[in-house]
């Protein structure tokens, strides 16, 4: 631009000699694609008509911007008008800007033609730079890609490269520079996908600079932004790059000794910076030994429980507080499961956080307060609540136990609804859950397979025992019966013989004239015969029984009468001598009777 000014001065001088001149000038003769530059046509004198060229190969991004200046040198006033166009080259190559034509006082004046060399620009600098052309003539609108410079860069520095899921890590985006920075523009903040992130707000506004040596080069270092990150899933995650644009001051090599003397000249360069992405390995939490009720807490914690009172009346409230303190993903911790007796009304817990976020992570405490209202009197045990977390340093799960409490609930005040005899006060027993019945604890009588009672040897033996015993009993009875019958038969057979013996004795007594013995022998013979015949014991023998037995056996009445008569006769003669009948007759009668009975088959 300096040259333009000089040219202008020269032409202004020339304007005095010439009536009208048109000069075309350009900010750069060598431009890059996509970067705007300015073409200016300066007319000395009053132009009536300005006819711009077609700008083939370029795109007009601004203009025509017209400006008029009046200068008075040595009493002579010069008016110059300039028309500027902002152009952007589309493609690389050599282009010619055709002359512009100006008409004044009936004459047409043409400007000079310009030749522009267009180079291919970098893609990164193609966007977002329009509009800056020409506005700041002192700043060369040079841009550099982040990789082009080793003098300034951003790095993401995590405090850990390998973490467990849920384990907190801090990442700092740091700016390393050994050039002077004059300004910056807001860049793109990292998205940090896969992490739950908390940006750390720095407390003081001043930027603190430290010195650090990287690859043997000393850099001024400052922290741009810090995040506390909690990986939400396991696997390979990445810390996204941060993009920022800085304006840096860069010295220009110059031949001018004066300029060098005054510290040289500088130009300001916009520098796009992008930090490299950092991979983070997130290991899943081990499944081995994962305690029941683990809710995903990772860090290092302590656990306390408290109840604001343990003795109260029915329908009064009690607060049950669980406090988890320590460092870790406190904000992500849910209330540990609390088993409160079903008869106590329980409300959702109130959460109270007291957290400090620092470069070392999140620490502090989280409090869960349950409001509980027992509705009935009694003693309610509150089993200890357990809280489990994973300690990433020790690489193991830790389960902490709270304290057990017992609430002593007394009868409520009269003002409160009490359980009385009001209708409808009864309630069904609520089935709260279902489960399988418990195992059998009574030891069964173990026996090897197939030795159940059914079909076993004992079973068969017992089944057979019934009929066998019955059969045996039947056979035994029958045999006994038969035996009895046989004994009767023998007696029967011997009856006649015995009677004959008694009668023979009677006959002897008759001949001897001993009447008493005679009758006794007859009596014995007859009695014994009947007794043997009927198989009845002698003791049971009397006249009536014998008659009955004989009648039962179907003996003729006539014979029975004769038996009775003979017996009577014998009985009588034993005590008194008989008249009217001789001993011989009695003897014959008895003999005849035995004979008849013998043939009568009794």
Partner 1 sequence: MGRFNWMSVWLLLLPAFAAAAEHPDSLFAKGNRLYAAGDYEGAATCYETLVTDGYQEAAVYYNLGNTHFKLSNLASSILYYEKARKLDPSDPDIRENLAFVNLGITDRIQPLPEFFIDSWWRGLLFSASLTTWSVVAVVCWLVAFGLLIWYLYAWQPRVKRASFYSGVATMALALLLLVVAYSQHRMQVDHNGAVVFSGQATVRSAPSESEKTLFVIHEGTKVQVVGQVKDWLRVSLPNGHQGWIKSEAVKMI
Residues of this chain that interact with partner 1 (CB under 8 A) are 434-444, 446-449, 452-455, 459, 462-463, 465-467, 469-470, 473-474, 477
Q: Which is nearer to partner 1, 423 or 467 (CB)?
A: 467
Burial 152-191 (b: 16+ CB within 10 A, else e): bbbbbebeeeebbbbbbbbbbbbbbbebeeeebeebeebe
Q: Which is nearer to partner 1, 94 or 437 (CB)?
A: 437
Residue 462 beta carbon to partner 1: minimum distance, rounded to whole angstroms: 5
Structure tokens given for 38: 């300015």
Q: What are phi and psi of 41, to 5 degrees?
A: -110, 125
Of 91, 145, 139, nearest to 117 (Cα)?
A: 91
Residue 483 beta carbon to partner 1: minimum distance, rounded to whole angstroms: 15
Structure tokens given for 45: 């004198």
* Cβ atoms within 10 Å, residue 39: 24
- Region of 207 (left: φ > 0; alpha: ψ -120 to 50; beta: rest) is beta
Q: Which is nearer to partner 1, 427 or 442 (CB)?
A: 442
Q: Which is nearer to partner 1, 347 or 470 (CB)?
A: 470
Q: Which is nearer to partner 1, 448 or 601 (CB)?
A: 448
**With contact defined as beta carbons under 8 Å apart, do 557 and 563 qualify?**
no
Structure tokens given for 3: 């040259």
Q: SS3 of 488, please?
A: helix
Residue 296 beta carbon to partner 1: minimum distance, rounded to whole angstroms: 22
Residue 449 beta carbon to partner 1: minimum distance, rounded to whole angstroms: 5
Q: Which is nearer to partner 1, 72 or 434 (CB)?
A: 434
Residue 163 beta carbon to partner 1: minimum distance, rounded to whole angstroms: 32
Could you please report the per-residue DSSP string of 289-349?
A: TPPTT----BEEEEEEEEES-SEEETT--EEEEEEEEEEESGGGPPPPP----TTEEE-PP
Residue 492 beta carbon to partner 1: minimum distance, rounded to whole angstroms: 23
Q: SS3 of 446, please?
A: coil
CA distances from 407 to 310, 317, 367, 396, 404 (A): 5, 11, 21, 34, 10
Q: What are phi and psi of 505, to 5 degrees?
A: -65, -40
Residue 485 beta carbon to partner 1: minimum distance, rounded to whole angstroms: 16
Residue 542 beta carbon to partner 1: minimum distance, rounded to whole angstroms: 23
Residue 440 beta carbon to partner 1: minimum distance, rounded to whole angstroms: 4
CA distances from 394 to 254, 312, 363, 365, 398 (A): 62, 43, 18, 21, 10
Residue 430 beta carbon to partner 1: minimum distance, rounded to whole angstroms: 18
Q: CA-to-CA distance for 340 and 346, rounded, in angstroms?
A: 8
Q: Which is nearer to partner 1, 393 or 429 (CB)?
A: 429
Q: Which is nearer to partner 1, 205 or 434 (CB)?
A: 434
Q: Which is nearer to partner 1, 422 or 439 (CB)?
A: 439
Q: CA-to-CA distance for 595 and 585, rounded, in angstroms?
A: 15
Q: Which is nearer to partner 1, 471 or 561 (CB)?
A: 471
Residue 390 beta carbon to partner 1: minimum distance, rounded to whole angstroms: 22
What 8-state DSSP symbol labels residue 208? P
**With contact defined as beta carbons under 8 Å apart, do 386 and 293 qualify?**
yes
What 8-state DSSP symbol labels residue 111? -
Residue 466 beta carbon to partner 1: minimum distance, rounded to whole angstroms: 4
Q: Which is nearer to partner 1, 66 or 483 (CB)?
A: 483
Name residues whose C-beta falls within 8 Å of residue 177's C-beta, 6 or more positions apart in sequence.
151, 152, 153, 219, 220, 221, 246, 248
Q: Which is nearer to partner 1, 216 or 452 (CB)?
A: 452
Question: Beta strand pairing status for 344-346 and 361-374?
Answer: antiparallel
Q: Which is nearer to partner 1, 222 or 399 (CB)?
A: 399
Residue 481 beta carbon to partner 1: minimum distance, rounded to whole angstroms: 10
């Amino acid at each position: 631009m300096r040259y333009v000014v000089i040219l202008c001065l020269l032409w202004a001088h020339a304007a005095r000699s010439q009536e009208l001149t048109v000069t075309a000038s350009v900010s750069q003769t060598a431009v890059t694609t996509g970067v705007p530059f300015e073409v200016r046509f300066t007319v000395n004198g009053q132009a009536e008509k300005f006819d711009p060229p077609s700008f083939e190969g370029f795109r007009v991004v601004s203009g025509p911007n017209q400006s008029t200046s009046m200068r008075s040198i040595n009493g002579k006033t010069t008016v110059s008008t300039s028309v500027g166009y902002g152009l952007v080259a589309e493609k690389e190559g050599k282009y010619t800007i055709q002359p512009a034509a100006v008409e004044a006082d009936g004459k047409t004046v043409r400007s000079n033609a310009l030749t522009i060399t267009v180079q291919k620009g970098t893609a990164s600098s193609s966007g977002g730079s329009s509009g800056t052309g020409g506005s700041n003539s002192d700043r060369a609108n040079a841009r550099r890609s982040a990789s082009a410079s080793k003098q300034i860069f951003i790095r993401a520095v995590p405090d850990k490269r390998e973490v467990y899921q849920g384990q907190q890590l801090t990442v700092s985006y740091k700016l390393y520079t050994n050039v002077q920075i004059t300004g910056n523009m807001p860049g793109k903040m990292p998205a940090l996908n896969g992490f739950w992130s908390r940006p750390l707000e720095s407390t003081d506004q001043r930027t603190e600079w430290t010195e650090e040596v990287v690859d043997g080069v000393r850099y001024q270092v400052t922290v741009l932004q810090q995040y506390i990150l909690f990986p939400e899933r396991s696997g390979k995650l990445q810390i996204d790059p941060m993009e920022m644009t800085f304006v840096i001051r860069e010295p220009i090599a110059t031949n001018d000794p004066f300029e060098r003397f005054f510290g040289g000249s500088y130009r300001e360069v916009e520098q796009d910076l992008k930090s490299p992405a950092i991979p983070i390995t997130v290991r899943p939490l081990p499944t081995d030994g994962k305690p029941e009720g683990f809710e995903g807490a990772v860090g290092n914690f302590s656990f306390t429980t408290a109840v604001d009172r343990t003795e109260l009346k029915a329908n009064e409230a009690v607060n049950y507080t669980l406090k988890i303190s320590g460092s870790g993903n406190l904000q992500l911790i849910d209330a540990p499961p609390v088993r409160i007796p079903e008869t106590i009304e329980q409300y959702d817990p109130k959460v109270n956080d007291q957290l400090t976020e620092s470069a070392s992570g999140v620490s502090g405490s989280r409090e869960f307060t349950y409001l509980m209202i027992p509705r009935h009197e009694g003693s309610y045990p509150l089993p200890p609540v357990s809280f489990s977390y994973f300690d990433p340093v020790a690489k193991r799960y830790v389960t902490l136990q709270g304290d057990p409490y017992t609430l002593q609930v007394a009868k409520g005040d009269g003002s409160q609804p009490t359980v009385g005899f009001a209708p409808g006060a009864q309630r069904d027993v609520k089935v709260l859950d279902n489960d399988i019945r418990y195992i059998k604890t009574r030891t069964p009588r173990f026996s090897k397979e197939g030795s159940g009672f059914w079909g076993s040897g004992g079973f068969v033996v017992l089944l057979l025992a019934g009929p066998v015993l019955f059969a045996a009993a039947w056979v035994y009875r029958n045999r006994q019966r038969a035996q009895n019958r046989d004994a009767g038969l023998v007696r029967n057979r011997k009856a006649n013989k015995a009677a004959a013996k008694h009668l023979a004795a009677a006959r002897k007594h008759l001949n001897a004239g001993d009447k008493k013995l005679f009758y006794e022998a007859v009596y014995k013979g007859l009695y014994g015969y009947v007794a043997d015949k009927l198989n009845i014991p002698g003791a049971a023998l009397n006249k009536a029984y014998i008659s009955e037995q004989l009648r039962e056996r179907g003996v003729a009445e006539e014979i029975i009468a004769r038996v009775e008569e003979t017996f009577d006769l014998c009985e009588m003669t034993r005590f008194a001598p008989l008249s009217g009948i001789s001993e011989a007759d009695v003897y014959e009668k008895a003999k005849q009777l035995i004979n008849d009975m013998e043939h009568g088959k009794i």
